[in-house]
Amino acid sequence: MEENKKVNQNGMTRRSFMKGAAAAAAAVSLASVLPTDVQAAAKDPVSVKDIWQNGFWTGKASFPKGAWMVNLSHNESNVASCFSTFSVNANNPKQIAVGWRKYGLPTNTKAGIGDWVGDYHLSVSEDGGKTFTDIDMMPRVREIQREDGLPEEEEYSLWWCNGPWATYGADGTLYTGAICYTALDRSDPEHPRQGRALVFVSHDNGKTFNRATYGMRLSNFADDAVALAVSATRPSTTGIPVGSPGTDPWHTPWDGNFGVASATTDMFVSICGGNVVVSKDGAETYDLVHSIKYPKGWTCSSGTPCVDGNKIIVPFIVTECPDPNIEARSMGVVTSDDNGLTWSDPIIAIAGSQINSVTSVRQVRSPISAASPVKHGHWAFVQYSNDHLRAKVVYTKNGGKTWKSAETPACAGYDDYVEAREVCVGYTAAGEIVVAYRGQKTWANYYTFAALLGKDGRFHKTVLAAPEISTYPYETTQGNYNTNTGSGDYCGWVSGGRKYCYVDVPYSSDGTVLDQYLVAIPLDAMR
């Protein structure tokens, strides 16, 4: 196995991000966003670096005492990272795994093999997030046998990735994967891009991996499953009309895959395109693929599922409903106890008028849900307050019989933003609810916040989850892929151990390099 790169919580202190003439310019940029009591020091590039002591921010109390952040990617200016998800092993919170993406700038989704970087990385920790080992997963992706409709020729190999994820099972098994796709141009009728949902499994926290399996096979669709969307640019090889749903291997999506494991049973669920498939043997084999279903007359937007024991919980937003008493944009859940074969009637958790479920820019995996790893029947999902400035969590402690909600307060001194975005929710290893979200000043720069739900059902304060405002580098606005979202910064993630809340943060304090960080915040500092 290739040598893995290790980084630690001093990574930001040790990295040299100001050199020569660029240093002075960066210092001026930093001075405009650093807390007032250290703006004078910010004029001296050396002092800016010295503000970090052993990985701990010492500038202002708003970034909690004892918090730290680890640079996972250590990018150069022609590379960026964002769109990560991570998992804390609830039964051993010292183990943390982060799936993240490294991509070249400017973005070029039509690049051929070797002409661009769009790589899947996994960072794993054995010490509660103080140090991480970086694992480049692409050699494993590219060596797998091309099957399930992929020809053997090299040009059809799975070469790029999107949306990496990681999740721990009840026995400590680490599952990780991504949508991995060919380098072929999807607008080319003769060579449409196609992807596969890959799943890797490690039983030793990333030291070794089983050969990848396909998280969703077209050949494994149940009769009741809704087929995946087909390409609009290539006539179907099976006679399906162009643009119609189908299961032709040439017409599979290459986005939207996710995986989640139960913290208490052997269930692992792979999700893609409104479909779910279950494995109970460590992703060696899978049940049939089933679609998430709603009653006749209901049109709903499904979010990111969670798992409680052997129950799959899917949050949704109502678009249309035959019941006049249910408001549009109301939110709730459907559940399945039989691996997705049948689904409960929709359970409405909150009326549309009580929550803002509209995202002004693309936010994938929304709404995001989570289940407590220690308390069955405790589930939560999150969206926005009605003014779209704060997070609003909706939660149940009795399996959906009753629901409560709570909004985060403003972060004192850091409320000069126009909109909240990338809201997410998770549970700590002890079953406490944590949320994180961005405070967007403009489309290009944002604060990152986190909050802990108290035992009284209130968020008592919101804290900074990054010490400075972050700015998308100019290079992320170039290229051909989502140039107003950091070239693919679509969602955040939050979870917790027993002592710390963890937040993933795509972060660039001076607007020159966008790196992927994991932030650790003492839970006691959030109470």
Model pLDDT for residues 352-408, shown as the tens digit of each residue:
999 988 765 556 678 999 999 999 999 999 999 999 999 999 999 999 999 999 999
- E strand intervals along 151-236: 158-168, 174-182, 195-202, 213-214
Residue 477 has a pLDDT of 86
- Give the model's confidence band at 227: pLDDT under 50 very low, under 70 low, under 90 confident, else very high: low
Residue range 21-45: average pLDDT? 31
Q: Does the pLDDT at position 184 exceed 80?
A: no
- Give the model's confidence band at 154: pLDDT under 50 very low, under 70 low, under 90 confident, else very high: low
Q: How far apart are CA 162 and CA 166, in angstroms?
A: 13
Least reliable range by pLDDT among 165-169, 179-183, 249-253, 481-485: 249-253
- For the ranges 31-35, 98-102, 142-146, 156-160, the maximum mean pLDDT occurs at 98-102
Residue-wise pLDDT tens digits, 192-202: 667 788 999 99
Q: Say which amino acid occupies 348.
A: I
Give me the sign of the Cα torsion angle 457, 460, 466, 470. Answer: positive
Residue 188 has a pLDDT of 61
Number of H helices, E strands in the chain: 5, 33
Residue 115 has a pLDDT of 84
Average pLDDT, the chain: 82
Query: What does the block give as tokens for 112?
Result: 């051929």
Give the DSSP H/E element, type plus range, for residue 42: helix 39-42
- Give the model's confidence band at 87: pLDDT under 50 very low, under 70 low, under 90 confident, else very high: very high
Q: How far apart are CA 228 and CA 251, in angstroms?
A: 8
- Fill in the DSSP letter of residue 525: G
Q: What contacts 37, CB < 8 A, 6 or more positions away?
A: 59, 60
Q: How far apart are CA 46 and CA 464, in angstroms?
A: 24
- Fill in the DSSP letter of residue 25: H
- Sheet with 118-125, side-by-side order of all strands: 5-8, 131-136, 118-125, 96-104, 79-88
What is the rounded (10 degree) CA torsion for 229, 234, 235, 238? -60
Which of 144, 140, 73 has its CA nearest to residue 104? 73
pTM summary value: 0.86
Least reliable range by pLDDT among 314-318, 358-362, 514-518, 522-526: 358-362
Q: What contacts 32, CB < 8 A, 6 or more positions away?
A: none
CA 480 to each of CA 106, 321, 406: distance values in angstroms, whole numbers, following the listed order:
8, 37, 39
Residue 111 has a pLDDT of 82
Residue 229 has a pLDDT of 52
Which of 353, 348, 340 has its CA nearest to residue 401? 348
Q: Does the pLDDT at position 102 exceed 60?
A: yes
Residue 23 has a pLDDT of 32
Q: Does the pLDDT at position 14 exceed 60?
A: no
Higher pLDDT, 218 or 378: 378
Q: Does the pLDDT at position 54 exceed 60?
A: no
272-299: burial string, b at 16+ Cβ within 10 Å, e else:
bbbbbbbbbebbeebbbbbbbbbeeebe
Residue 287 has a pLDDT of 95
Which of 465, 437, 463 has its CA nearest to residue 527? 463
Least reliable range by pLDDT among 6-15, 139-148, 158-167: 6-15
Judge contact between 73 and 515, C-beta under 8 A.
yes
